Amino acid sequence: MCGIISYIGKSDALQVLIKGLKCLEYRGYDSAGIVIGDETHPFTIVKSVGRVELLAQKVAKIAIRGCVGIGHTRWATHGGVSEKNAHPHVSCDGRFILVHNGVIENSVGLKALLKEKGFTFYSDTDSEVLANLMAYHYGRLRELPTSQRFAESVRISLCEIQGTYGIAVICKDCPQELIGARKSSPLILGIHPDGFYLASDASAFAGQTKDVVFLSDNEMVHIHDHIYQVQDLSNGLINPTVETIDWDMNASDLGNYSHFMQKEIFEQDVALRNTILGRFSKDGSSAHLGGLQMTPQELRQIDRILLLGCGTASYACKVGEYLIEKYARIPVEVECASEFRYSNAPLDKNTLVFVVSQSGETLDTLGALHEARRKGFKSLAITNVVGSTVARESDGGVYQRSGPEIGVASTKAFTGQICVLAMIALYLGRMRDMSFSDGCEFVRALQALPDCVQKTLQGCESTMKTIAHKYASYKDFFFLGRQILYPIAMEGALKLKEVSYVHAEAYPSGELKHGPLALIDENVPTFVLASDPSMLQKNISSMMEIRARNGKVIAVATEGAHVPEKAYNDIVYIPSVYEAVLPIVTTLPLQLFAYYMALERNCDVDKPRNLAKSVTVE
């Protein structure tokens, strides 16, 4: 979603900002802007609707220089997509220039108050209100020295707004200073001997420095005189922890691939190898997950598990529900994080909560985490991004180690989440009823998974490409799955919608005859996930029902399974695997189908319209 990169130091800010904005493109945005200047160069703002490349071309035509700057990619919330609404925003006296991620919920009231005091507005955004609020307080604080006056204006304004923010702000009266602050929207300070970076995502300054401070909610950083000071908005200066980030410098490099989605699909064997690395018990019968930070005794006392996530992560949770209930025999509930945060469902005392989030920054998932913790439940995280807000605000958890995921459509993060949940099922199962030999069989299946994933992708790529070519013009698809493969049907439908803009719906296979069958005809193809041997005959019945109504069937089945030819139009075979890893292997052809459908339909695979990688607004 919206991205921030800002810089203050000895280098030319322009190069830093354009490079940083390009790194943030994957998050999704619709317009971009920068402001650059310093004590010898006047601050100049340039904005552009559309891609960062357009902004770069625009900037190249004008002389814009300086060692201080802030840049932003905007994903419209308040006001349409236009240069007027793009960031940075400026107070009407021209003094404060800021970029803002998040939503200011009381902006309407504040705007009315400021208008009464003579402030004027040019945009439809809530962010411009914040710039003017800072200018208003600056006017009141004349007795303070300039630098302190700047910082106090920002601090008081932030205390008066309701909602969420990650901001970077410049005051023209202090041209060698920069302030940043956050509340429910990430902001990271990068520290380098020659300067400082402030970004919503550390990838925006990847390779520049490894030393970072992850600002916490209600914290503000003031960079001036070559130093930085962090303060809590209400409690004064604090001593922040400087952490070290390990950059994966290849993450933003496509290598031999055409798109990040393609790269990330084919990286899944490596990603899964990393997920399981060093995480099995010495006797080879269980998982070893120290990050949960709970003793075996505490884990045995758990009566219920609640899994929370959004979108693809919520489908991983649904798979986790089947796995934990089957192998650990603990009742599991799954709820969309966006629903849970406002619901008031009664929860058992001994409920353990897991929030699942690739980015670790999804606002709805964070809201659910806060709500679960507020109610006193132990809340753990499954996330891919080290140091993300979800990771820092949970009571412990498991990192996926899937590596940076750049494509907006989640692929390797989804299979990584399922893999972690499978390991949790194994770990909890071995503490309860699962036998030693069953545990060893589970471990062997997970150890064999990376090779199996590689083989499956190689084996089904050309088939899925051919099938995508054949069905590229169809406008509606069904995806059917039973039991542990029903969430995979949902994920297959979501992938297709996201990247190729084709309508797709998922149902449990048995539900077809309870309504959706009315829509089946020769124009509505159906994927039937028939790779679960225990459900094969039931799935063949569903296929026959569809074929009897002239519907087209694309079946996913395991090698060696006998599926009558009359039951399908097209079929893709995957290896026969242990049930706990079946959802991962069955997902692979569906990811490839979505990818090749997007190519057939000339869609922007890595940056689908209207979507953002990290959804940091409600």
Q: Is 419 a catalytic residue?
A: no
Query: In the set 313, 391, 468, 554, which binds ligand AGP (CB under 6 A)?
Result: 313
Cα gap 220→229, rounded to integer Å? 8
Query: In the set 180, 311, 450, 492, which binds ligand AGP (CB under 6 A)?
Result: 311
Query: Should residue 359 be labelled a site residue for ligand AGP when binding is judged by CB under 6 A?
Result: yes
Closest CA to 378 of 338, 398, 336, 349: 349
Question: Residue 1 or residue 16: which is nearer to ligand AGP going by CB?
Answer: 1
Sign of CA dihedral 382, 383, 386, 388: negative
Query: Should residue 382 be labelled a site residue for ligand AGP when binding is judged by CB under 6 A?
Result: no
3-state secondary structure 475-501: CEEEEEECHHHHHHHHHHHHHHHHHHC
Structure tokens that stand for 498 in this block: 């996201």
The count of chain residues that interact with ligand AGP, using the rule CB under 6 A, is 15
Q: Are strands 68-74 and 3-9 parallel, antiparallel or unpaired?
A: antiparallel
Residues 99/141, Cβ–Cβ less than 8 Å? no
Query: Should residue 615 be labelled a site residue for ligand AGP when binding is judged by CB under 6 A?
Result: yes
Q: Among the options 2, 171, 336, 419, which is catalytic?
A: 2
Query: Should residue 312 be labelled a site residue for ligand AGP when binding is judged by CB under 6 A?
Result: yes
Question: Residue 394 or residue 410: which is nearer to ligand AGP going by CB?
Answer: 410
Q: Which residues contact 511 (CB under 8 A, 6 or more apart)?
A: none
Question: Residue 363 or residue 445: which is nearer to ligand AGP going by CB?
Answer: 363
Q: Within 350-410, where are the H helices?
A: 363-374, 389-393
Cα gap 517→57, rounded to integer Å? 52
* Backbone φ/ψ region at 468: left (φ over 0), alpha (ψ -120 to 50), beta: alpha
Query: In the set 85, 107, 200, 358, which binds ligand AGP (CB under 6 A)?
Result: 358
Q: What are the C-alpha distances in Å from 301 to residues 21, 286, 587?
A: 48, 19, 34
Question: Residue 285 or residue 357: which is nearer to ligand AGP going by CB?
Answer: 357
Stretch that binds ligand AGP, among 10-18, 218-226, 275-283, 351-359 (CB under 6 A): 351-359
Question: Residue 310 or residue 418: which is nearer to ligand AGP going by CB?
Answer: 310
Query: Should residue 310 be labelled a site residue for ligand AGP when binding is judged by CB under 6 A?
Result: yes
Q: Amino acid identity, residue 212?
A: V
Radius of gyration of the chain (CA): 26
Q: Which residues contact 390 (CB under 8 A, 6 or more apart)?
A: 355, 357, 360, 361, 362, 365, 366, 369, 381, 383
Question: Residue 177 or residue 217: which is nearer to ligand AGP going by CB?
Answer: 217
Q: Is 452 a catalytic residue?
A: no
Question: Residue 28 or residue 195: which is nearer to ligand AGP going by CB?
Answer: 28
Query: In the set 85, 127, 164, 365, which binds ligand AGP (CB under 6 A)?
Result: 365
Stretch that binds ligand AGP, among 92-100, 207-215, 354-362, 587-595 (CB under 6 A): 354-362
Question: Residue 498 or residue 545: which is nearer to ligand AGP going by CB?
Answer: 498
Question: Under DSSP, is residue 323 helix (H, G, I), strand (E, B) or coil?
Answer: helix
Please provide the size of the chain in residues: 618
Structure tokens that stand for 530 in this block: 């028939």
Cβ 501 to ligand AGP, closest distance in Å? 14
Cα gap 22→509, rounded to integer Å? 43
Stretch that binds ligand AGP, among 108-116, 308-316, 420-428, 588-596 (CB under 6 A): 308-316
Q: Among the options 111, 378, 412, 613, which is catalytic?
A: 613
Question: Residue 311 or residue 589: which is nearer to ligand AGP going by CB?
Answer: 311
Residues 291/316, Cβ–Cβ less than 8 Å? no
Ranked by CB distance to ligand AGP, the top (closest) residue is 311
Question: Under DSSP, is residue 202 helix (H, G, I), strand (E, B) or coil?
Answer: helix
Q: Classify residue 470 as exposed, middle or buried by CB count within 10 Å of its CB (0-12, 13-18, 19+).
A: middle
Cβ 403 to ligand AGP, closest distance in Å? 14
DSSP 606: T
Cβ 311 to ligand AGP, closest distance in Å? 2
Cα gap 305→331, rounded to integer Å? 6
**Positions 513 through 542 that interact with ligand AGP (CB under 6 A):** none
Cα gap 528→485, rounded to integer Å? 10
Q: Which residues pair with 351 in a beta bridge?
A: 304
Query: In the set 498, 532, 545, 606, which binds ligand AGP (CB under 6 A)?
Result: 498
Question: Residue 48 or residue 410: which is nearer to ligand AGP going by CB?
Answer: 410
Closest CA to 216 of 231, 204, 206, 205: 231
Residues 613/29, Cβ–Cβ less than 8 Å? no
Structure tokens that stand for 198 in this block: 């402030």
Cα gap 501→523, rounded to integer Å? 17
Residues 499/595, Cβ–Cβ less than 8 Å? yes
**Positions 390 through 429 that interact with ligand AGP (CB under 6 A):** 408-410
Footprint on this chain of ligand AGP (rule: CB under 6 A): 310-313, 357-359, 362, 365, 408-410, 498, 614-615
**Residues known to be catalytic:** 2, 613
